[in-house]
């Protein structure tokens, strides 16, 4: 493997989601040539401009077509669970590739994931496969506390928590409109809700079925906040260890050399592996960037099949969603303060004269990235992230309220015997009290 400072990496993103990782690699590599295949032929400037206008960083360059730069590349990085064919083609031509390869289908096809769980002997919550909106209406009428999932098309529908017919009938009407002529052909998976407050997660990376000896043990408030401890493998919850051991042969077979995340619901003596993420997790990936000092080396070596152990800069991390309100049809803009260069992680933007510009999108939730903090105790992390929040530029807010719920969950889990850390975990009131100062 070349010295990191001699490596030119082709970085294949998806909608700007992994821009913080690309910029981190550009700090260590000779160059990062960044692209988004979905925007290659786009005639919409909002899609085609993401990742562009980085004149102050000669190591970062955007291209519309990564294949035009093939002769310049030493490494290809695909952190998302996308572009399996592109990864395999580059691999066939002798390029080291950091990517999920065929394991992307564990996330893109929920039915494939369920079949794998059954084959490996894991318990799957009771569910029903239903085709079409009419049949879904008939099945859900009178039912409460259901979880509705689909495969692959996350922009069409995220996981839906069905409370009751009175509360959620409108959603069926909405889906009928969104699916149009496909509404009676589309498959849905409807699960019985797992009545437990405990969802644990493990965030790591895998090189051909081999795991590093340290990883993040994380709790997530979905799309809102994340809190993790950097721990040895043997200190991880037993449920996490069981999943990793069972999936190692499959990840070796698929040639997985990428990040890997597990979401597990725990109910008494039982646990359910409900979601896998064979890619850089969101949230959590920005914590990995902040905590793992040698991440560029891990990726470069991992692409060639070599497992490098992570070197940690801290023992704990947290990240909370950043948002900036604006018009549905106007770009939003902000400048990252110098004090927050390491902690304010923006996604889906371009730079103009040092200022970040976020194009408007068809589906816009006002999210612009994540605010990250690290520390050697959980309390230090909370103190740091609230201090960083106070430094945010005008109009930008951080969802630190999500930390309140996470600290409640972590404390409750520890009371039930699932140890997060041997260090004191702050009471949720600390977030509210410190944030009010």
H helices of 99-164, in order, are 105-108, 110-119, 133-140
Q: What is the mean pLDDT of residues 103-111?
A: 92
Residue 351 makes CB contacts below 8 A (sequence gap 6+) with 52, 53, 54, 55, 56, 357
Give the Cα separation of 197 and 199 in Å (integer).
7
**pLDDT > 90: percent of the chain:** 76
pLDDT in tens, 354-394: 899 998 876 656 789 999 999 999 999 999 999 999 999 99
Domains 126-192 and 198-436 share a fold: no
More reliable by pLDDT, 28 or 430 = 28
Residue 416 or 229, more confident = 229
Better-predicted residue by pLDDT, 231 or 361: 231
70: how many CB neighbours lie within 10 A of its CB? Answer: 13
The first and second tokens of residue 150, run together, are 């689909």
* The CATH number fitting domain 198-436, selected from 3.30.1360.120, 3.30.9.90, 3.30.360.10, 3.30.470.20: 3.30.470.20
Under CATH, which number does the domain 126-192 receive? 3.30.1490
Residue that the structure tokens 């990376």 belong to: 205
Q: CA-to-CA distance for 155 and 363, rounded, in angstroms? A: 8
Q: Which pLDDT belongs to residue 46?
A: 82
The CA dihedral of 120, 123, 113, 158, to the nearest 10 degrees, is -160
pLDDT for position 49: 87
Q: What is the per-residue pLDDT for 425?
A: 93
pTM over 0.95: no
Average pLDDT, the chain: 92
C-alpha to C-alpha distance for 328 and 335, rounded to whole angstroms: 20
Per-residue model confidence as pLDDT tens digits over 42-81: 667 888 888 887 767 789 999 989 999 999 999 999 999 9
Confidence (pLDDT) at 5: 96
What are the residue boundaries of the structural domains of the chain, listed by start? 4-77, 126-192, 198-436
Phi then psi dihedrals of residue 247, to 5 deg:
-85, -10
pLDDT at 423: 94
Q: What's residue 53's pLDDT?
A: 78
């Amino acid at each position: 493997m070349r010295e990191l400072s001699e490596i030119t990496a082709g970085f294949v993103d998806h909608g700007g989601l992994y821009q913080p990782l690309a910029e981190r690699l550009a700090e260590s590599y000779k160059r990062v040539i960044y692209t988004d295949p979905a925007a290659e032929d786009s005639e919409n400037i909002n899609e085609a401009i993401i990742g562009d206008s980085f004149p102050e960083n000669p190591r970062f360059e955007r291209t519309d077509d990564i294949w035009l730069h093939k002769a310049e590349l030493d490494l290809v990085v695909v952190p998302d669970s996308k572009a399996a064919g592109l990864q395999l083609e580059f691999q066939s031509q002798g390029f080291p590739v950091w990517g999920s390869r065929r394991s992307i289908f564990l996330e893109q096809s929920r039915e494939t994931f369920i079949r794998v769980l059954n084959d490996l002997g894991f318990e799957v919550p009771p569910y029903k496969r239903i085709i079409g909106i009419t049949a879904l209406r008939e099945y859900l009428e009178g039912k409460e506390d259901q979880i509705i999932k689909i495969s692959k098309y996350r922009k069409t529908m995220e996981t839906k928590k069905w409370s009751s017919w009175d509360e959620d009938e409108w959603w069926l009407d909405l889906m009928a409109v969104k699916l149009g002529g496909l509404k009676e052909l589309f498959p849905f998976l409807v699960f019985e809700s797992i009545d437990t407050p405990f969802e644990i997660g493990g965030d790591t990376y895998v090189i051909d079925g081999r795991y590093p000896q340290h990883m993040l043990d994380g709790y997530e408030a979905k799309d809102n906040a994340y809190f993790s401890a950097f721990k040895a493998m043997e200190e991880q919850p037993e449920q996490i260890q069981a999943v990793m051991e069972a999936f190692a042969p499959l990840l070796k077979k698929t040639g997985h050399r990428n990040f890997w995340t597990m979401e597990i619901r725990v109910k008494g003596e039982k646990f359910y592996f409900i979601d896998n993420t064979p890619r850089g997790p969101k949230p959590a990936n920005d914590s990995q960037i902040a905590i793992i000092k040698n991440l560029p080396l891990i990726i470069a070596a991992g692409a060639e099949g070599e497992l490098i152990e992570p070197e940690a800069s801290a023992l704990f991390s947290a990240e909370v969603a950043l948002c900036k309100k604006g018009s549905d049809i106007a770009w939003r803009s902000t400048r990252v303060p110098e004090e927050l260069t390491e902690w304010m992680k923006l996604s889906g933007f371009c730079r103009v004269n040092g200022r970040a510009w976020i194009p408007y999108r068809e589906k816009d939730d006002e999210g612009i990235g994540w605010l990250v903090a690290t520390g050697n105790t959980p309390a230090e992390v909370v103190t740091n992230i609230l201090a960083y929040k106070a430094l945010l530029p005008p109009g930008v807010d951080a969802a630190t309220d999500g930390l309140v719920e996470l600290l409640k969950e972590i404390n409750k889990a520890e009371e039930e015997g699932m140890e997060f850390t041997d260090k004191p975990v702050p009471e949720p009131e600390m977030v509210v009290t410190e944030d009010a100062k």
